[in-house]
Amino acid sequence: MTDRQDVRTTAPRFAQADSAPFEHWIAALRAEARTKGIGENTLAEAFDGLRLNRRALELEARQPEFVTPVGAYVAALTGKQALATGREKRRQHAALLARIEAAYGVPARYLLAIWRLESDYGANFGSFPVVETLATLAYAGTPKRRPFWRRQLIGALEIVDRGHATFARLVGSWAGAMGHTQFIPTTYLDHAVDFDGDGRRDLWRSLPDVFASTANYLRKSGWQSGLPFGWEAALPEGFDYSRAHLGESRTVAEWRALGVRRADGKPLPEIDRPVSLIVPAGWNGPVFLVTQNYRAILRYNNAAAYALTVGLLAERLEGQGDLVARWPAAARLLSRAEKAELQRGLMALGYDPGPVDGKVGPETRKAIRAFQKRAGKPADGYANQALLDAVRKAAHR
Ligand code: CA
């Protein structure tokens, strides 16, 4: 961590026009915490002399845009080093991982992949003091997110009050994600487990607790044992891409009847469970059939690039080769401003992309597919530069 004096300052510099003074705010928070049964000693330790953390506010305000194309993200996180370290860790912890798979139905390779993405196999937990950081964000962070930060702060106090960790141990990311697999406090309270039986759920020093907690969270998120996240798929000529999104599920047999195959030529398993088709980089990139387990990974971190990278790394750890299709050589993704322009353009053309918020969600993708269909293009619902150019052109006609 950098010199603490550099990243901290005293409360008044953060006082917001619409906020109570920090001391009053803390007093109200302490009162709320007492109603949740949190003890006086814990509260005193948490709040006496607490300062605000300027760096957490800066990081929240910056809200970096995710502009790395999914293919580049996958490549960056699943390279040789990630595979070599992952296999070494699997060998080191084989017996433990086998016990956890038996108990929770989540295979070692998925736990290792999540571990890699969350903390680089435990190399980097983040070094922010969690209570200080969450108190700062709950008091002076983005107004609409303050209730969320406040819940996390109360959760962090509960963790210490129940004796699972000390405040000194409670370090994590600027957003309060903690330990080897980066649980936020409410996720910790709901899903962390004490697998080594020492009475504490320790996500910082106990790998049995870390792996079991992660497996438990995935299981509670709907993980189905015996299934991978999905398979790379190959589609027939003229396939209707408007079927390719998480809102549409079919059985494997139904997809097969539509001509969908596995890209590597192996047979798809005969499973009678809902499966969706996704095109994470557009129709000219790799496409995937994804199972309920892909959705369980999304519960961990709701980004397609994340869930797909976890899935691909997990299967590569098990020996699966490279993808058959190439990722498109996109230089970058559209910025938020460009996505907003796209939404305004679609609106001007009579489509309904939902609110103009610079985010491409299900409504916007639906509008994109309708635009693509009318233009005679593959209706993959994917927003890229070519699409923006086409919408601009159509809107100025
Ligand atoms: Ca434990």
Predicted confidence at residue 331, as pLDDT, reads 66
Ranges 60-64, 82-86, 105-109: which has the least confidence:
60-64
Tokens linked to 237: 């000529």
Instruction: Tell whether the model's pLDDT for residue 3 goes beyond 50.
Output: no
Mean pLDDT of 177-206: 96
For the chain, the distance separating the N- and C-terminal CA atoms, rounded to the nearest angstrom, is 55
Mean pLDDT of 139-168: 95
Point out which residues pair with 234 in neighbouring strands.
261
Handedness of CA 84, 89, 91, 97 (dihedral sign): negative
Instruction: Tell whether the model's pLDDT for residue 153 goes beyond 90.
Output: yes
Ligand 1 centroid, distance to 246 Cα (angstroms): 37
- The residue that leads in pLDDT, 52 or 104, is 104
Tokens linked to 144: 């609409």
DSSP 8-state symbol, 199 = S
Instruction: Tell whether the model's pLDDT for residue 186 goes beyond 50.
Output: yes
Ligand 1 centroid, distance to 344 Cα (angstroms): 52
Distance between CA atoms of 70 and 380, rounded to whole angstroms? 16
Ligand 1 centroid, distance to 188 Cα (angstroms): 13
Point out which residues pair with 53 in neighbouring strands.
8
Ligand 1 centroid, distance to 277 Cα (angstroms): 39
Distances (CA, A) of 34 to 29, 47, 170, 354, 379: 9, 13, 20, 42, 55
Percent over 90 (pLDDT), the chain: 83
Q: Which residue has the tokens 């969350």?
A: 118
Which residues touch 197 (CB under 8 Å, ≥6 apart)?
Answer: none
Quickly state the pLDDT bin for 337 (edges 50, 70, 90): very high
Ligand 1 centroid, distance to 100 Cα (angstroms): 14
Predicted confidence at residue 4, as pLDDT, reads 33
Percent over 70 (pLDDT), the chain: 93
Tokens linked to 304: 């397609």
Tokens linked to 391: 């919408």
Ligand 1 centroid, distance to 223 Cα (angstroms): 23
Ligand 1 centroid, distance to 173 Cα (angstroms): 22
Ligand 1 centroid, distance to 202 Cα (angstroms): 5
Predicted confidence at residue 63, as pLDDT, reads 66
Mean pLDDT of 329-343: 88
Q: Which residue has the tokens 């330790």?
A: 45
Ligand 1 centroid, distance to 304 Cα (angstroms): 32
Nearest of 105, 302, 315 to residue 288 by alpha carbon:
315
Quickly state the pLDDT bin for 65 (edges 50, 70, 90): low
Mean pLDDT of 311-335: 91
3-state SS assignment for residue 230:
strand
Ligand 1 centroid, distance to 193 Cα (angstroms): 7
Ligand 1 centroid, distance to 216 Cα (angstroms): 14
Mean pLDDT of 323-344: 90
Distance between CA atoms of 211 and 53, rounded to whole angstroms? 31
Ligand 1 centroid, distance to 382 Cα (angstroms): 44
Mean pLDDT of 183-197: 97
Predicted confidence at residue 22, as pLDDT, reads 86
Nearest of 372, 369, 345 to residue 358 by alpha carbon:
345
Ligand 1 centroid, distance to 210 Cα (angstroms): 9
Q: Express each pLDDT in 262-283 by its tens digit.
A: 999 999 998 888 999 999 999 9
Mean pLDDT of 162-187: 94
Instruction: Tell whether the model's pLDDT for residue 67 goes beyond 80.
Output: no
Ligand 1 centroid, distance to 201 Cα (angstroms): 4
Ligand 1 centroid, distance to 220 Cα (angstroms): 19
Ligand 1 centroid, distance to 214 Cα (angstroms): 13
Predicted confidence at residue 120, as pLDDT, reads 96
Distance between CA atoms of 122 and 174, rounded to whole angstroms? 17
Instruction: Tell whether the model's pLDDT for residue 118 goes beyond 80.
Output: yes
Ligand 1 centroid, distance to 192 Cα (angstroms): 10
Q: Express each pLDDT in 351-366 by its tens digit.
A: 999 999 999 999 999 9
What's this model's pTM, rounded to 2 decimal places? 0.89
Ligand 1 centroid, distance to 208 Cα (angstroms): 7
Q: How many beta carbons lie within 10 A of that of residue 302, not counting itself?
A: 10
Quickly state the pLDDT bin for 64 (edges 50, 70, 90): low
Nearest of 160, 88, 157, 163 to residue 123 by alpha carbon:
88
Q: Express each pLDDT in 32-60 by its tens digit.
A: 999 999 999 999 999 988 888 999 999 99
Ligand 1 centroid, distance to 267 Cα (angstroms): 42
| Summary mean pLDDT of the chain | 91
Tokens linked to 359: 């985010």
Neighbours of ion ligand 1 (CB under 5 A): 194, 196, 198, 200, 202, 206, 209
Mean pLDDT of 223-231: 96
Mean pLDDT of 9-27: 62
Predicted confidence at residue 378, as pLDDT, reads 92
Q: Degrees (nearest 5) of the Cα angle 141, 175, 340?
A: 65
Instruction: Tell whether the model's pLDDT for residue 18 goes beyond 60.
Output: no
Amino acid symbol at 14: F
Predicted confidence at residue 61, as pLDDT, reads 86
Distance between CA atoms of 287 and 380, rounded to whole angstroms? 10
Instruction: Tell whether the model's pLDDT for residue 7 goes beyond 70.
Output: no
Ligand 1 centroid, distance to 84 Cα (angstroms): 28
Ligand 1 centroid, distance to 207 Cα (angstroms): 9
Calculate the CA 190 to chain-centre distance: 17
Handedness of CA 319, 324, 330, 333 (dihedral sign): negative
Mean pLDDT of 313-328: 94
Handedness of CA 141, 143, 145, 151 (dihedral sign): positive
Predicted confidence at residue 19, as pLDDT, reads 54
Instruction: Tell whether the model's pLDDT for residue 5 goes beyond 80.
Output: no
Identify whether the C-beta of residue 114 lies closer than 8 Å to the C-beta of residue 183. Answer: no
Ligand 1 centroid, distance to 163 Cα (angstroms): 11
Ligand 1 centroid, distance to 96 Cα (angstroms): 14
Predicted confidence at residue 108, as pLDDT, reads 98
Ligand 1 centroid, distance to 198 Cα (angstroms): 5
